[in-house]
């Protein structure tokens, strides 16, 4: 996968989308599976034309995909409408290495280089810091926003670069460090199996890695995709691994010790996340099981992540929480789907009307409320959230307001005490 800034969309006063900007050298040949190397420096060729606004807040978006797939090309992840409407911020999205290329876990790889995809993220953020001023952005107001595994990447990042996070804030959307989608493969069996199937078997770890660097990248992708589609067992799975450098084993302990960046956080999940992970039935869903999955894999870890950040810094750093509950027919065509995993992306990006029909007025209003909240949060580093009246930051581990988006009204305060008590009873807080 190319390591580039695929869509840097400035406020429409510029009238430009800057596409395909490289932040790293292509990860080919000896750079495959290796840490990223910076691209060549850029000149002023990046200066905006016309009467450009300056010092705009910047949001860097990290897409999801369980560390295995994803990218910036999906039409519903293009923020043109959002930028057009606000005229007051910049959105950046970038491709990074996923699957075996980003989370290699090979025996021949140095222990601190098993997760090059996470290192891609740091290099991209450094590029934005160094160059965004030429596009009208404020390098002191860079917010990191991720969805699903993209949010997990940001959560990990908050511990790794706690003394120099570059960013001024983080938005963790349906993902955080307490959601375990790690690859637990201490014998490096997945990489060795793929290597053996592609002509690199029965080699030493060093030679195995060198051999795999010469295999056509499409052949590697095709083999992994075909294997997964056929439902073979055991599964071949490549995700982030604990290396004590980019991913740690016990985030609760680290948070309790304050070993996390002092970054204001906006943390949330969706009301029906669990339906996305059950077998599809066009007519119905096992609602009880879906609710259990929503709580265990999303709501409770999100609650835990919020409490951990409040406790880490004694309530001195603002933490806000939200739940997305929109159930709009052009995004969720079956009523039981509700606010499934990822359903909030079209409203925030402003692409909901591009799905399966026209958007309702509530949908447009919910979209505007979420967009404004995201921008205000990054612009002020969480110092104020006046887009929703009464939305106060959490300053104590068991106190604070939660805002719900899209449930009958664009935004309102909600009571999550009962759900939080269930989390405590399950030991998930």
- Residue-wise pLDDT for 21-48, tens only, equals 666 777 776 777 677 777 643 328 222 3
Which pLDDT band holds residue 7 (cuts at 50, 70, 90)? very low
Closest CA to 348 of 120, 68, 89: 89
Greater confidence, 192 or 12?
192
Three-class SS string for 129-165?
A: HHHHHHHCEEEEEEEEEEECHHHHHHHHHHHHCCCCC
Percentage of the chain lying above the pLDDT 70 cut:
90
Whether 31 contacts 25, CB under 8 Å: yes
State the pLDDT at residue 400: 72
Q: Which of 147, 273, 376, 404 is catalytic?
A: 273
- Percent of the chain exceeding pLDDT 90 equals 66
| pLDDT at 184 > cutoff 80 | yes
pLDDT score for 19: 58
Where does 263-335 show beta strands of DSSP type E?
265-270, 319-324
408-420 confidence digits (pLDDT tens): 999 999 999 889 9
pTM: 0.90
Q: Is position 273 annotated as part of the catalytic site?
A: yes
Spell out the domain ranges in the chain: 4-182+246-425
- Span 337-355, mean pLDDT? 93
Average pLDDT over residues 378-405: 88
Of 118, 180, 178, give the one whose Cα is nearest residue 150: 118
Q: What count of other Cβ atoms lies within 10 Å of the Cβ of residue 16?
A: 16
Write the pLDDT tens digit of every residue in 230-250. Answer: 888 888 999 999 999 999 999
Give 244's DSSP letter.
S
Residue 275 has pLDDT above 90, yes or no: yes
Q: How far is CA 318 from CA 113, 267, 315, in A?
A: 33, 11, 7
Q: CB-based burial of residue 135 (10 Å sphere; 0-12 exposed, 13-18 middle, 19+ buried)?
A: buried
- State the catalytic residue, choosing from 341, 344, 376, 404: 341
CATH of the domain spanning 4-182+246-425: 3.40.50.1820
- Residue 36 is predicted with a pLDDT of 77
User: Is 148 among the residues known to form the active site?
Assistant: yes
Q: What's residue 17's pLDDT?
A: 58
- Structure letter (DSSP) for residue 35: P
Average pLDDT taken over every residue of the chain: 88
Q: What is the pLDDT of residue 16?
A: 57
CA pseudo-torsion sign 379, 60, 129, 115: positive
User: What is the rounded average pLDDT of the residues 301-313?
Assistant: 94
So what's the pLDDT on residue 179? 94
Integer Cα distance of 63 and 68 in angstroms: 11
Among residues 148, 174, 325, 429, which one is catalytic?
Answer: 148
State how far Cα 341 lies from the chain centre: 13
Contacts of 94 (CB under 8 A, 6+ apart): 3, 4, 5, 6, 23, 60, 72, 124
pLDDT at 43: 24
Active-site residue 276, yes or no?
Answer: no
DSSP assignment string, 161-220? TTT----SEEEEES--TTS------TT-HHHHHHHHHTT--S--HHHHHHHHTTS-HHHH
- What pLDDT is recorded for position 246? 95
Tokens at residue 188, please? 């490096």
């Amino acid at each position: 996968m190319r390591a580039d800034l695929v869509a840097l969309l400035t406020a429409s006063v510029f009238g430009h989308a800057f596409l395909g900007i490289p932040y790293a050298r292509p990860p080919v040949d000896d750079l495959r599976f290796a840490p990223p190397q910076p691209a060549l420096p850029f000149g002023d060729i990046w200066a905006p034309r016309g009467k450009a606004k300056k010092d705009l807040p910047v949001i860097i978006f990290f897409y999801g995909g369980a560390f295995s797939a994803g990218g910036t090309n999906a039409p519903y992840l293009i923020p043109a409408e959002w930028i057009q409407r606000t005229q007051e911020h910049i959105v950046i999205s970038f491709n990074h290495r996923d699957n075996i290329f980003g989370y290699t876990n090979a025996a021949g790889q140095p222990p601190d280089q098993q997760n090059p995809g996470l290192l891609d993220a740091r290099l991209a953020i450094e590029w934005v810091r160094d160059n965004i001023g030429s596009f009208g952005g404020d390098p002191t107001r860079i917010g990191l926003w991720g969805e699903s595994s993209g949010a997990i990447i940001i959560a990990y990042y908050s511990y790794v670069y706690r003394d120099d996070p570059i960013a001024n804030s983080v938005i963790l959307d349906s993902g955080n460090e307490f959601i375990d989608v790690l690859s637990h493969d201490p014998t490096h069996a997945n990489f060795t199996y793929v290597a053996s199937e592609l002509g690199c078997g029965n080699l030493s770890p060093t030679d195995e890695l060198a051999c795999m660097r010469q295999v056509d990248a499409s052949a590697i992708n095709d083999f992994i995709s075909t294997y997964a589609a056929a439902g073979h067992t055991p599964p071949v799975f490549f995700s982030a691994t604990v290396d004590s450098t980019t991913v740690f084993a016990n985030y609760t302990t680290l948070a309790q010790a304050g070993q996390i960046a002092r970054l204001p956080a906006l943390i949330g999940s969706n009301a029906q996340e669990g339906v996305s992970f059950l077998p599809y039935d066009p007519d119905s869903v096992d609602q009880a099981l879906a609710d259990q999955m929503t709580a265990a894999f999303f709501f409770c870890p999100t609650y835990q992540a919020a409490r951990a950040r409040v406790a880490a810094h004694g309530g001195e750093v603002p933490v806000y929480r939200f739940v997305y509950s929109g159930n709009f027919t052009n995004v969720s065509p079956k009523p039981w789907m509700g606010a499934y995993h990822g359903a909030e992306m079209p409203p925030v990006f402003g692409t909901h009307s591009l799905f399966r029909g026209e958007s309702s007025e509530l949908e447009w209003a919910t979209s505007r409320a979420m967009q404004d909240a995201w921008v205000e949060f990054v612009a002020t580093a969480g110092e104020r959230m006046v887009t929703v009246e009464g939305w106060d930051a959490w300053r104590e581990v068991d106190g604070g307001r939660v805002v719900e988006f899209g449930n009958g009204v664009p935004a309102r305060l909600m009571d999550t005490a009962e759900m939080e008590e269930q989390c405590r009873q399950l030991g998930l807080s």
